[in-house]
């Protein structure tokens, strides 16, 4: 495996990313310089993976997958929007941003009992993790408190808990941990070089800082991005390099295919070649061998043959249920039929 000596990920404030120059110096001092104990990926190394003949790439990804996971098991999560729309941010793909005119209707924070009914339904249909998403820039303390109760009650039902609430301030991750939160989702979305084309109301560093707080509170990190927003292959590789080079890569890496929603700035973006999407999944699997790679948004428009290739490339997690926050997702019965066809077991 190729190792980086040059790509120093810029993240001065966060502890979540290693400075690879320091790492190299440290390895030399300790006599570990030539040992294959730490993987750092340069962007050009990941681009080289993308450029492999498809069969070679799939073989590498599948081999890596089998070394680390049961290849016929897929983890299943359900995602519920607990507070919808009216968000002050300007993420160019998102129908929940208040500034874009979409068909999404704003809804206030759900009541605890309604969240628990949805969690029970998810559990009954086979989900093992329940993710609660709120369209906020970040939670204020008065927002956080009812969510803490939701987390505690969902956890008590025997489900793993996940939340995506936006940027976290100091101390908030610890409160979430104490309530029983297992995973926090906060996506990097794309490579740093393309980020400004998509979002202007929060910086890349803001995102890394939130991920650092999540890691610091000992909550599992769920972080990935969106593919098909007009980024280059280099930038797709750049996103994966950011994730793979964290001192501990995210436990869960959602790879979303852009769902184009009328009224958002990215509506009308050129559609991504589906094979390029599969290549992205394969490169994620190779560069983050021990992470769950989640095939996330965009599955509804994806032919089942492409989904099968994604599983072959090492995707081993999906969202289950008819809705992903505000956009569509395949029906659970459709997923069950596909899993049966492929001999995949839910875990
Ligand atoms: S992605 Fe999240 S932060 Fe960005 S506009 Fe949508 S709800 Fe707000």
Quote the pLDDT of residue 281. 98
Is the model's pLDDT at 30 over the cut of 60?
A: no
Nearest Cα neighbor of 151 from 219, 200, 247 is 219
- Residue 86 Cα to ligand 1 midpoint, Å, equals 9
What are the domain boundaries of the chain? Answer: 64-346
Quote the pLDDT of residue 243. 98
Quote the pLDDT of residue 22. 34
- Residue 216 Cα to ligand 1 midpoint, Å, equals 23
- Residue 135 Cα to ligand 1 midpoint, Å, equals 6
Residue nearest to atom 2 of ligand 1 (CA): 135
Quote the pLDDT of residue 299. 85
- Residue 291 Cα to ligand 1 midpoint, Å, equals 24
Residues in the chain: 347
Q: Tell me: the pLDDT tens digits for 205-226? A: 999 999 999 999 999 999 999 9
Quote the pLDDT of residue 69. 97
The response to whether residue 133 sits with its C-beta less than 6 Å from ligand 1 reads no
Distance, C-alpha 267 to centroid of its chain: 21
Quote the pLDDT of residue 158. 96
pTM of the model: 0.86
The response to whether residue 97 sits with its C-beta less than 6 Å from ligand 1 reads yes
Is the model's pLDDT at 28 over the cut of 60?
A: no
Question: 228: phi > 0 → left, psi -120 to 50 → alpha, else beta; which?
Answer: left
**Catalytic residue positions, numbered:** 87, 91, 94, 131, 162, 222, 294
Q: Tell me: the pLDDT tens digits for 66-98? A: 999 999 999 988 889 999 999 999 999 999 999
**SS3 track for the chain:** CCCCCCCCCCCCCCCCECCHHHHHHHHHHCCCCCCCCCCCCCHHHHHHHHCCCHHHHHHHHHHHHHHHCCCCEEEEEEEEEEEECCECCCCCCCCCECCCCCCCCCECCCCHHHHHHHHHHHHHCCCCEEEEEECCCCCCHHHHHHHHHHHHHHHHCCCEEEEECCCCCCCHHHHHHHHCCCEEECCCECCHHHHCCCCCCCCHHHHHHHHHHHHHCCCEEECCEEECCCCCHHHHHHHHHHHHCECCCCCEEEEEECCCCCCCCCCCCCCCCHHHHHHHHHHHHHHCCCCEEEECCCHHHCCHHHHHHHHHCCCCEEECCCEECCEECCCHHHHHHHHHHHCCEEC
Domain 64-346 = CATH 3.20.20.70: yes
Residue of 79, 94, 165, 207 to test ligand 1 pocket, by largest number of atoms within 8 Å of CB: 94
Quote the pLDDT of residue 333. 83
Q: Tell me: the pLDDT tens digits for 47-69? A: 999 999 999 999 999 999 999 99
């Amino acid at each position: 495996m190729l190792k980086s000596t040059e790509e120093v990920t810029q993240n001065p404030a966060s502890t979540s990313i290693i400075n690879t120059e320091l790492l190299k110096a440290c390895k030399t001092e300790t006599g570990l310089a030539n040992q294959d104990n730490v993987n750092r990926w340069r962007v050009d190394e990941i681009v080289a993976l993308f450029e492999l003949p498809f069969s070679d790439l799939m073989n590498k990804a599948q081999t890596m997958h089998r070394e680390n996971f049961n290849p016929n098991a897929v983890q299943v999560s359900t995602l519920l929007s607990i507070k919808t729309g009216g968000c002050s941010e300007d993420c160019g793909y998102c129908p929940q941003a208040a500034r874009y005119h979409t068909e999404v209707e704003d809804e206030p924070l759900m009541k605890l009992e309604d969240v628990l009914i949805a969690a029970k339904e998810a559990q009954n249909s086979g989900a093992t993790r329940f993710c609660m998403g709120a369209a906020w820039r970040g939670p204020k303390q008065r927002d956080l408190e009812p969510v803490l109760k939701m987390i505690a009650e969902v956890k008590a039902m025997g489900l793993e808990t996940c939340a995506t609430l936006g940027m976290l301030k100091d101390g908030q991750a610890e409160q979430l941990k104490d309530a029983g939160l297992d995973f926090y989702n906060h996506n990097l979305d794309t490579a740093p070089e393309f980020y400004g084309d998509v979002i202007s109301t929060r910086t890349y560093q803001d995102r890394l800082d939130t991920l650092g707080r999540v890691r610091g509170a000992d909550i599992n990190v769920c972080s990935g991005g969106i593919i098909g927003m007009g980024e280059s292959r280099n930038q797709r590789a750049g996103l994966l390099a950011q994730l793979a080079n964290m001192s501990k890569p995210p436990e869960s890496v959602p790879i979303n295919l852009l769902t184009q929603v009328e009224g958002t700035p990215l509506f009308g973006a050129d559609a991504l070649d589906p094979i390029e999407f599969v290549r992205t999944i394969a490169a994620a699997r190779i560069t983050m061998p021990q992470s769950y790679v989640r095939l996330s948004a965009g599955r509804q428009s994806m032919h089942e043959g492409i989904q099968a290739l994604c599983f072959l490339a090492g995707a081993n997690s999906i969202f289950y249920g008819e809705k992903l926050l505000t956009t569509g997702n395949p029906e659970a019965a459709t997923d069950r039929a596909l899993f049966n066809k492929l001999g995949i077991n839910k875990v």
